[in-house]
């Protein structure tokens, strides 16, 4: 169900916790699974549940509680823009609007070519760098002026 590489990574996470607390690795296991699969299908969550000896519903609770998990398929690049107040005061909304216009999609939509999904994000803890956005949860881009956004999209389209 998951690649051996992913399983190795999950095992490394499991090792961080006491032997009888495998469940502690569920957040990282889901993140690793999502990196491999792009999103968390119920089959994937069921697999993770089995792997960690958890009830599947407990995995589902976690997957739906933390908002960086994708419970539906997303585009190749999920771009999450912070529009919270401190960012909004420094152009967060402008960046979001510019992205909407450039990609021709709104929040929670995926571009027709399946390349981009746009999401509205909450505080990323980087308000000093506003506007900020995240690409696929892991790459944070700071000071995203329109020019910077152009450059980023160019790079991602390659």
Q: Which residues bind other proteins (CB under 8 A)?
A: 16-18, 21-28, 30-31, 42, 45-46, 52, 54-62, 64-69, 83-90, 121-130, 134, 137-140
Q: 66 vs 113, which CB is nearer to other proteins?
A: 66
Question: Cα separation of 3 and 144, whole Å?
Answer: 35
Nearer to other proteins by Cβ, of 12 and 112: the residue is: 12
> In this structure, how many other beta carbons lie within 10 angstroms of the beta carbon of residue 154?
9
CB 90 to other proteins: min, Å: 7
- Smallest distance from other proteins to CB 113, Å: 26
Nearer to other proteins, 65 or 147 (CB): 65
> Which of 70, 69, 60, 59 is closest to 24 using CA atoms?
59
* Residues 6+ positions from 127 with CB-CB distance below 8 Å: 82, 84, 86, 87, 90
């Amino acid at each position: 169900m998951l690649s051996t590489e992913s399983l190795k990574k999950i095992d490394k996470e499991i090792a961080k916790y006491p032997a009888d607390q495998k469940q502690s690795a569920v957040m990282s296991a889901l993140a690793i699974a999502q990196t491999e699969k792009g999103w968390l299908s119920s089959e994937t969550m069921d697999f993770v549940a089995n792997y960690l000896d958890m009830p599947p519903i407990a995995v589902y609770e976690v997957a739906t509680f933390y908002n960086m998990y994708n419970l539906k398929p997303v585009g190749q690049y999920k771009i999450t823009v912070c529009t919270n107040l401190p960012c909004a005061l420094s152009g967060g909304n402008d960046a979001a609007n510019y992205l909407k216009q450039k990609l021709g999609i709104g929040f929670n939509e995926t571009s027709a070519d399946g390349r981009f999904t746009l999401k509205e994000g909450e505080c990323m803890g980087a308000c000093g760098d506003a506007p900020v956005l995240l690409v696929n949860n892991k790459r944070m881009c700071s000071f995203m002026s329109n020019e910077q956004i152009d450059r980023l999209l160019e790079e991602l389209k390659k």
